[in-house]
Structure 1
């Protein structure tokens, strides 16, 4: 299953209605007559009536929770106009910093920002982008009164099954909200370069069933405590359906990585410690006699880098990292996404017709 980025081009706007719905499972209990043969039962003693009342209260409670979260968080979610595209962003602090996706800002340096609560359109400038993790920070040129920063959660407390809401501007429909659950954790997803994508391979992503559409990128994935737990970034596509969206399969960058990158950009103007492992090489995918991807050939090896220190050289073809097979550049990136700088891994490669292995102490991107 491939993943396409959620960047929205004005030329592809289509009308889409996305109502917020809450699913409720009502359980009806069937009870027999009790007592002295009476055929009538008081409504107050009916198990069915009690169940319906309980379900109704649960529905009202959940609806109240949804509305409270929307009221809390939506003022912190903005729409970003990046010249030829629209995306979303989250107010990061009271100084006017806004965190979003790198593919939302693209190559632009200045932006128009609209807040969900209305008011005049604000101008903003790029602080820095980090395409390797598809994150960026922009800053409002003038901070308006009452600007509200979002509350960011803890990735360690995110669990499968938690109810979440995605907030942003899908298809240019600002202040839109969809709901779903956390479907899975720890996904490694590679982003396409086509259509403005960064081509990044991102690890530890949050998979969600909340609808994510073009324009949602850079917005907020929020739990019922009004905490941002991720930034919606990718929506899965189904190659068997002409790469159309695969409903209910979206991915968000985890809040831990968002805070790590945003804090460094705000403090230093760039990412100084990526925390991402690398072999410190450039490579290309090679094919076998059947024209099938068969490994990654080293095109260049950084002097003093991880691969160089382990004895790898230009022309070697990497076929495995640890137990993970490597057939393409993307699969190599995915194999490294779960590792950390300084860790030791066994790299299997071929040199000429000979298969070799090397223990590599991983470097950093």
Structure 2
């Protein structure tokens, strides 16, 4: 399966809801004739108590966090957001706000629609901050956790407005951490390559973008941003594969935007070039040709120039713009890396001190 991440914003439209549900039966084989023996009373009590404790924990988390998750109307699109502080700042995805400057915000408590304005958008990390024009009494800011405490197997809840259904909650686990995924530009996407993403099995659907991925301590650990699609199935959703921007990056970007009105320190490495994918004689992607070089930038300082074709970063092959972005996503500004490239018929290497996006 070729799982291609796609954005999870939804266009405003009437939502048809099908009546009824589909039940899934699990068949269990028995060794020997007659009915299977029932669990002992003590075992049943333990199972019942454990299930009840987890259910109660879920309900507590939902009551704690859901009032801090909002629905955002941006033109003809809908997405989600998280109340960042008591001053009315709301953090969301850049692809949720798109090119809009003003927004309709609905809170989970069902109060009237509130107006908000854009503070700043940072498409390179697919994050944005908007601010309520008037802060209502009782607005509850979310509590944010730390990325270091996110572990594979951890139970999480995703909260937002999938398909326009506000205040919806799904549950799953952290499936993986440290994923690097790339977002397309079609349909309002940012084209960003996002590193250190949290992969989750909690359902992420259109409209969940910008919402909350929450642990059982009622802490935000990420912002659901992408859901995978299966290209072999015509681009249909790949169930149970969603990605969230880690809370450390959310806080880094949001704090800078709130403080300075823009991102002043991205922490993202760059070669300071513009490039395009080139193909070989068999029309297969074969590298990234440099189209322009920023004067005094990282590549220029290392002697790279227009027309060079980058084929490797360190030990990582580079065949497309996306693979180049993914190779750089795990690096830091100021770090020295080896870049392999071709110039005419010659293959060369250069040591490049990385710049910053």
Q: How does 1:107-256 map to 2 (within 5 A)?
A: 107-256=99-248
Distance 1:16 1:280 in 2: 51
Give the secondary-structure state (helix, strand or coil) at the position aligned to 1:300: strand
* Contact 1:80-1:86 at 8 Å conserved across structures: yes
Distance 2:169 2:221 in 1: 15
Tell whether 2:8 aligns with 1:6: yes
Distance 1:9 1:49, change over 3 A: same
* Contact 1:14-1:171 at 8 Å conserved across structures: no
Distance 1:87 1:14 in 2: 18
Q: TM-score, normalised on structure 1?
A: 0.91
CA shift for structure 1 position 52: 1.1
Q: How does 1:63-82 map to 2 (within 5 A)?
A: 63-82=55-74
Q: Which residue of 1 aligns with 2:30?
A: none
Residue 356 of structure 1, aligned match among 314, 330, 348? 348
Tell whether 2:284 aligns with 1:292: yes
Tell whether 2:345 aligns with 1:343: no
Q: Gaps spanning 5+ residues in structure 2: where?
A: 22-37
Distance 2:20 2:77 in 1: 21
CA shift for structure 1 position 16: 6.8
Residue 83 of structure 1, aligned match among 56, 70, 75? 75
Give the secondary-structure state (helix, strand or coil) at the position aligned to 1:312: coil
Q: TM-score, normalised on structure 2?
A: 0.93
Tell whether 2:311 aligns with 1:311: no
CA shift for structure 1 position 13: 4.2
Q: Which residue of 2 aligns with 1:60?
A: 52
CA shift for structure 1 position 51: 1.3
Deviations 1:290-329 (A, max 9, x none): 0010000000000111001111000000000011110000
Measured on the aligned residues, the alpha-carbon RMSD in Å equals 1.4
Give the secondary-structure state (helix, strand or coil) at the position aligned to 1:152: coil
Distance 2:297 2:48 in 1: 62
Distance 1:18 1:249 in 2: 25
Q: Number of residue pairs matched?
A: 339
List 4+ stretches of structure 1 deviating above 6 A.
16-19
Distance 1:16 1:111 in 2: 30
Q: How does 1:252-267 map to 2 (within 5 A)?
A: 252-267=244-259
Q: Which residue of 2 aligns with 1:270?
A: 262
Residue 301 of structure 1, aligned match among 266, 281, 293? 293
Deviations 1:172-229 (A, max 9, x none): 0000000000000000000011111100000000000000000000000000000000
Distance 1:172 1:314, change over 3 A: same
Residue 88 of structure 2, aligned match among 60, 85, 96? 96
CA shift for structure 1 position 233: 0.1
Deviations 1:250-287 (A, max 9, x none): 00000000000000000000000000000000000000
CA shift for structure 1 position 17: 8.7
> Which protein shows a greater Rg?
1
Distance 1:121 1:18 in 2: 31
CA shift for structure 1 position 15: 3.0
Distance 1:220 1:114 in 2: 15
Q: Gaps spanning 5+ residues in structure 1: where?
A: 20-45
